[in-house]
Chains A and B, each alone.
Chain A
């Protein structure tokens, strides 16, 4: 795989991508602002949401035990996986034991994180992605580019071409409604015919053993009710103590993600079908996955375990809005992805993500659970520096700067000369080409600097 810089370069050059990302993220940003304004005290609600998650993370072991006991009492079977591979193996074994030929999958980022689509393919089990966006990227053989809108990078024209090539009776009319209808026709029979339904969990309720899913399409319910077996894969941090705690988090989740008061469909599944029930699965399996979470808790990333995967941080991130999700290269994009990817893929491979952040703090301002994302990103930068992962050119450049900066006369001389040179390059207050930083000026202009350096102006003011 090429590096982050190459991917970001490609993304920056892609005008269509920028339009597609801007349309969806821009709408989400505007709708969230309206929803937050209409809410009585969103700031206090954010404090409460963070406190609920911190409470759970502090007592994670006890809550997991409680959840296991209540889910088991309700008839579900709880499985544990330390790693992504272990989790996939458990899911595949359940599918094989059920003689499954096809599974219907309701969008789950944890499923992506552990590589479940790939594992199912290797096991020869057919997979029907039922979320419309996941269906689009399954047809295109791509990865999600956003955690709420996985096909955000696709324009309507691209979706239309894809459906025409792959659907049995595709749309005739070139409207988004007709395309969605084409997917509805295509997916419905496949969903109803699946042997196993697989979902993630938005919340796990410790005291009742319920698994909560939220969708706007209703595809989770259509994927999970008809098949004989329901498998849930969930990160161990998804626990909340009780239903009222989940309710507070649900209020925060929908408003932060899409600006709605609530998602259209919110379901709490407690065990398999009961005696006399008219529908529902005969078996329910819940696979609880660690995959680095206990390590995050021990190694300074406990705050990241508050994340409820709402996507607000990426919708408000200037870098994400320019390059989209794929450039990040991991399962999770945007600011939260830049914090999480080093956990899953290693810091050496993904250290550039933390460097690509402008630290403007916008993500932290909108995060419903107040995760200090810029601080966590700075933590990765420092670690990368300490462990000597930064390339020699960067280390040499910075040590040269440090050498000059600790010699005030030389520093003032140098910066003064640079200001004069840069002003000569600028037109109408902007510089559109700057030697040595073509990477910066290729896609943006640099503001022309003020006539004098800050220190020179400061001294002049003091004198006058």
Chain B
């Protein structure tokens, strides 16, 4: 008998009822979010010491390169950026920047577009696809994220997008950190040490 058969032979039983599974989700306990003030709620979480992300606000996409430049200059970084082939990003005027779309092992800065922001936890939601690679967001020292204000949603239940799931759906809630040595918190364990969110108010 195969291992699969052996396991299933011991797990015979009724199929779960969908209603029973759904009933377990009614009125979940979760942090309170003021749904009338999503942007403020999101930004408050983003500033918590456990996340300690910075942010800036832009009114339209034309302001994006200047906002990125402002951030990199404030960090004493060159205007060099790993940028995925996302049409919204590519359409901007990046004059003065050195751009590339494959991340180097010691990449200084990468930009990405978040699909959603979640007010409950200050999380940024990403999904992989032909114009959205995953690796640069974990390799770069500075992770710069563009998020539309309209894409801020109250709860983690709002994170998954409907329909066919992408290969990777991921939530980023802060920077890479570790408490593995004597419980002391250190930023930038393996991935980004800095997270900067650009809120698009358009």
Contacts and interface: CB of A to CB of B under 8 A. Distances in A.
Query: By DSSP majority rule, is chain B's interface helix, strand, loop, or mixed?
Result: loop
Interface stretch (A43-51, A329-337, A440-448): A43-51
A401 interface: no
Nearest to B11: A61
B181 A241 contact: no
Interface in B7-52: 7-8, 10-16, 20-21, 24-25, 28-32, 45, 50
B179 A280 contact: no
Contacts of A187: 190
A42 B120 CA distance: 16
A32 to B, nearest CB: 13
Contacts of B138: 218, 221-222, 225
Contacts of B3: 80-82, 86, 290
B177 to A, nearest CB: 5
A67 interface: no
Centre residue among B25, B173, B183 by max chain A CB count within 10 A: B183
A261 interface: yes
Which of A176, A250, A278: most chain B CB closer than 10 A?
A: A278
Interface stretch (A125-133, A195-203, A371-379): A125-133
Contact of B134 (A176, A181, A272, A279): A279
A244 B190 contact: no
Nearest to A276: B130
Interface in A127-164: 130-133, 136, 149-152, 154-156, 159
Interface stretch (B60-68, B69-77, B159-167): B159-167
Contact of A217 (B14, B160, B190): B190
Interface in B156-192: 156-157, 159-160, 165-184, 186, 188-192
A245 interface: yes
Interface in B136-172: 138-139, 156-157, 159-160, 165-172
Interface in A18-52: 20, 23-24, 27-28, 38-42, 44-45, 48, 51-52
Nearest to A284: B167
A131 B180 contact: yes
B29 A44 contact: yes
B182 A41 contact: no
B13 A60 contact: yes
Given A23-B182, A40-B32, A149-B179, A192 B191 contact: no
Contact of B28 (A58, A191, A248): A248
Contacts of A65: 8
A260 interface: yes
A108 interface: no
Interface residues of A, number: 101
A74 B7 contact: no
Contacts of B13: 58-62
A405 interface: no
Nearest to A267: B170
Interface string A67-87: 000000010000011100010
Interface string B119-136: 011010000111111110
Contacts of B25: 244-245, 248
B105 interface: yes
B168 A180 contact: no
B95 interface: no
B122 to A, nearest CB: 8
B24 A226 contact: no
A298 interface: yes
B179 A268 contact: no
B178 A217 contact: yes
Contacts of B16: 55, 58-59, 62-63, 241
B137 to A, nearest CB: 8
A301 interface: no
A61 B11 CA distance: 5
A264 interface: yes
A452 B191 CA distance: 64
B189 A216 contact: yes
Given A60-B11, A270-B168, A280 B134 contact: yes
A42 B31 CA distance: 10
B178 A24 contact: no
A190 B28 CA distance: 42
Given A55-B16, A264-B177, A155 B182 contact: yes
Instruction: For the complex of A and B, list the 3 residue pairs with the smallest distance between their C-beta atoms, beginning with the closest.
Output: A61-B11, A218-B191, A278-B133
13 contacts: A74-B165, A82-B7, A216-B177, A217-B189, A236-B7, A247-B159, A262-B171, A264-B176, A267-B168, A268-B165, A269-B167, A274-B166, A274-B167
Interface of A: 20, 23-24, 27-28, 38-42, 44-45, 48, 51-52, 55, 58-65, 74, 80-82, 86, 130-133, 136, 149-152, 154-156, 159, 176-177, 179-181, 183-184, 187-189, 191-192, 208, 210, 216-219, 221-222, 225-226, 236, 241-245, 247-248, 250-251, 258, 260-274, 276-280, 288, 290, 294-295, 297-298
Interface of B: 2-4, 6-8, 10-16, 20-21, 24-25, 28-32, 45, 50, 84, 105-106, 120-121, 123, 128-135, 138-139, 156-157, 159-160, 165-184, 186, 188-192
Given A177-B186, A261-B45, A278-B130, 11 more contacts: A80-B2, A131-B180, A217-B178, A217-B190, A221-B191, A244-B28, A247-B159, A262-B123, A265-B171, A268-B170, A270-B168
